[in-house]
């Protein structure tokens, strides 16, 4: 029977992809299943069964060192390229925002300038969520084991990319030093948030992991922007001449709003921050809030899905493998 011979050829191809010590037992079990399907005259199901075995990729420690190395390589590539994609999201969003504002809104509405930052935020958030969907898929195939290792694996490439970005944008170390308090706090605290979210997801508390991760990422980004502003701009004038302050200041009472103000260029109807304070804040933090917005969703999606997909320590081997 041609169908049976084709199915047997597919099974032989499937068994050759597994380590030698498992091939005989897998071959016997799969052949037995094929015999049952043949006896039931289910030819299409028999072919589908054999083809699925031949097409599936051996994975995990039982699949041998080559498969493990391949999985580790894919994990490394995803984690190294994702921060670059985050920077690309900010750059693409900025270009699109400039085109829309200068090429369309500036000639049609009077509030085109005020629309710049909100439009940049919306574009960045939309592309960040798209990247997060891919990161969730990468996380389900992650080679990293354990919440702390996953959090560090995600954030170390992010840290290197963020430092290089700040160095390039500020053309030297002076601006990097100015941005350091916020940047260091964001990298450190977001690592802890990812650690906690991954630990919760690994225990099966996926909804709690998402809530903890989303709220934690927002708080971390807000704290980081506050530290950057506090480190660079005083709360009150150091010198007053003829009743006029001789230095720019930002009142600390509005500190919890600074992240959201930098995303929207708006004080939400409150007296603080004032328009001048908004200008000082957004001019100082520049790209930082948008980098946080571009990176945090994919980092959280990767950590949660990696923890959800990690097999428990006492998991039994797949069907057809010796226990």
Helix (H), strand (E), coil (C) string for 267-306: CCCCCCCCHHHHHHHHHHHCCHHHHHHHHHHHHHHHHHHH
Per-residue pLDDT band at 317 (split at 50, 70, 90): very low
The Cα–Cα gap between 146 and 185 comes to 23
Neighbour-count burial of 134, counting CB atoms closer than 10 A to its CB (0-12 exposed, 13-18 middle, 19+ buried): middle
CB atoms within 10 A of CB 68: 15
Q: Compute the average pLDDT of residues 226-248.
A: 73
Same domain, 117 and 228: yes
Say how many domains are in the chain: 2
The Cα–Cα gap between 123 and 129 comes to 10
Phi, psi dihedral angles at 241 (to 5 degrees) = -125, 120
Asked if residue 24 has pLDDT above 90, the reply is no
Same domain, 188 and 47: no
Domain of 20, in residue numbers: 2-56
Same domain, 126 and 248: yes
The Cα–Cα gap between 214 and 303 comes to 12
Classify residue 291: in a domain, yes or no: yes
Give the pLDDT score at 38: 76
Q: What is the reported pTM?
A: 0.74
Q: Compute the average pLDDT of residues 307-323.
A: 53
Classify residue 71: in a domain, yes or no: no
Same domain, 39 and 89: no
Classify residue 318: in a domain, yes or no: no
Mean pLDDT taken over the chain: 83
- Better pLDDT: 101 or 55: 101
Same domain, 175 and 122: yes
Q: Quick one: what percent of the chain has pLDDT higher than 70?
A: 83
Q: Helix, strand, or coil here: 240?
A: strand
HSE at residue 306, side-chain half, CA atoms within 13 A, is 33
Q: Are 231 and 284 within 8 A, CB to CB?
A: no
Asked if residue 175 has pLDDT above 80, the reply is no
Give the pLDDT score at 41: 73
Same domain, 107 and 188: yes
Percent of the chain that is helix, strand, coil (3-state, to 5): 75, 0, 25
Same domain, 128 and 159: yes
Same domain, 116 and 195: yes
Q: Compute the average pLDDT of residues 85-92.
A: 95
Classify residue 115: in a domain, yes or no: yes
């Amino acid at each position: 029977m041609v169908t049976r011979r084709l199915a047997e050829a597919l099974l032989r191809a499937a068994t050759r992809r597994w380590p030698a010590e498992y091939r005989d037992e897998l071959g016997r079990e799969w052949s037995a299943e094929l015999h049952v399907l043949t006896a039931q005259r289910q030819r299409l199901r028999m072919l589908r069964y054999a083809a699925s075995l031949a097409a599936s990729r051996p994975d995990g420690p039982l699949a041998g060192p080559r498969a493990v190395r391949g999985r580790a390589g894919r994990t490394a590539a995803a984690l190294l390229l994702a921060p670059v994609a985050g920077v690309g999201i900010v750059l693409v969003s900025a270009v699109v925002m400039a085109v829309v504002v200068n090429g369309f809104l500036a000639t049609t509405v009077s509030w085109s300038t005020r629309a710049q930052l909100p439009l940049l935020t919306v574009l960045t958030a939309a592309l960040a969520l798209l990247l997060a969907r891919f990161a969730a898929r990468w996380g389900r195939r992650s080679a990293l084991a354990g919440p702390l290792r996953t959090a560090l694996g995600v954030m170390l490439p992010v840290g290197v990319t963020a430092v290089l970005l700040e160095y390039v944008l500020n053309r030297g170390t002076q601006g990097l030093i100015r941005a350091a308090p916020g940047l260091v706090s964001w990298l450190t605290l977001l690592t802890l948030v990812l650690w906690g979210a991954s630990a919760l997801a690994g225990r099966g508390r996926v909804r709690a992991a998402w809530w903890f991760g989303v709220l934690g990422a927002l708080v971390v980004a807000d704290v980081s922007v506050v530290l950057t502003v506090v480190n660079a701009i005083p709360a009150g004038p150091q010198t007053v001449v003829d009743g006029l302050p001789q230095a720019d200041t930002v009142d600390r009472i509005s500190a919890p709003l600074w992240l959201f103000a930098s995303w929207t260029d708006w004080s939400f109807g409150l007296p603080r921050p004032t328009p001048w304070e908004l200008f000082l804040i957004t001019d100082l933090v520049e790209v930082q809030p948008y980098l946080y917005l571009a990176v945090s969703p994919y980092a959280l999606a990767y950590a949660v899905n990696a923890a959800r997909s990690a097999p428990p320590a006492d998991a039994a081997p797949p069907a057809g493998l010796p226990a």
